[in-house]
């Protein structure tokens, strides 16, 4: 029986090649990896910007900050009283205001602005509820354009309503987040036109 010895040179070459390849793979994966795992096959999912459980996305914006790309300053009712309507006497603004009024306001204030819209009937059913305002009421007519703009922006609750229902914030909803400033000024312009009609 003759035994053929394994050549040490071929086994050594195989082992050297295997170890060299393994070393290259490890070094290559260490260069590619950016964090936890030595080899990342789907790194785009692992390193995405996300938030862990119960971690807030970011800090709240400080109160009163106006973004440099736009935004709207906050006015109190007293400060808004002296604001002038930039769209006063503009027929296009009145036409836009009419469209917006028909979409947002007719249901409560009515087509004529008298506070008798289709939904106003339901305020009579609820005991003590404050019905929609008649926009032709002398108290509303006496308000400045800036006050009407402020009410459209922030909503409003009459002092009588606040005394009777202190937990209600308003009986006129705020449209500040629904309509742009230009649209709210256009509504004010249209309300002034409605008030001229008998």
Selected residue with higher pLDDT from 180 and 50: 180
From CA 92, how far away is CA 109, in angstroms rounded?
Answer: 22
Q: Is residue 66 assigned to a domain?
A: no
Domains identified in the chain, total number: 2
Range from 5-19, 38-52, 59-73, 152-166 carrying the lowest mean pLDDT: 38-52
180 and 109 in one domain? yes
163 and 107 in one domain? yes
From CA 139, how far away is CA 160, in angstroms rounded?
Answer: 14
Q: Is residue 7 assigned to a domain?
A: no
99 and 32 in one domain? no
88 and 26 in one domain? no
pLDDT band at 98 (very low <50, low <70, confident <90, very high): very high
pTM of the prediction?
0.61
pLDDT band at 169 (very low <50, low <70, confident <90, very high): very low
Range from 23-37, 51-65, 117-131, 143-157 carrying the lowest mean pLDDT: 23-37
189 and 141 in one domain? yes
Q: What is the CATH number of the domain that holds 127?
A: 1.10.760.10
81 and 39 in one domain? no
Selected residue with higher pLDDT from 88 and 46: 88
91 and 185 in one domain? yes
Q: Is residue 81 assigned to a domain?
A: yes
Are the beta carbons of 154 and 176 closer than 8 angstroms? yes
Percent of the chain with pLDDT over 90: 20
145 and 89 in one domain? yes
Q: Is residue 72 assigned to a domain?
A: no
pLDDT tens track for 110-161: 899 888 888 887 776 766 667 788 899 888 899 999 999 999 998 876 665 5
* List of residues 6+ apart from 81 with CB closer than 8 A: 144, 146, 147, 150
* List of residues 6+ apart from 149 with CB closer than 8 A: 80, 83, 85, 184, 185, 188
89 and 16 in one domain? no
167 and 89 in one domain? yes
25: domain range? 12-46
């Amino acid at each position: 029986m003759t035994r053929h010895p394994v050549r040490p040179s071929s086994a050594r070459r195989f082992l050297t090649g295997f170890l060299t390849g393994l070393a290259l793979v490890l070094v290559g994966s260490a260069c590619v990896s950016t964090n936890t795992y030595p080899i990342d096959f789907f790194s785009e999912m692992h390193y995405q910007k996300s938030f862990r459980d119960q971690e807030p996305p970011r800090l709240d914006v400080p109160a009163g900050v106006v973004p440099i790309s736009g935004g709207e300053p906050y006015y109190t009712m007293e400060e808004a009283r002296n604001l002038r309507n930039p769209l006063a006497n503009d027929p296009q603004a009145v036409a836009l205001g009419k469209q917006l009024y028909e979409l947002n306001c007719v249901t409560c204030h009515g087509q004529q602005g008298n506070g008798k819209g289709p939904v106003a009937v339901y305020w009579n059913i609820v005991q003590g509820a404050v019905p929609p305002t008649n926009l032709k009421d002398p108290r509303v007519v006496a308000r400045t354009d800036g006050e009407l703009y402020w009410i459209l922006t922030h909503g409003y609750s009459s002092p009588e309503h606040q005394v009777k229902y202190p937990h209600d914030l308003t009986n006129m909803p705020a449209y500040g987040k629904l309509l742009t400033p230009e649209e709210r000024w256009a509504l004010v312009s249209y309300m002034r036109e409605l008030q001229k009609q008998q």
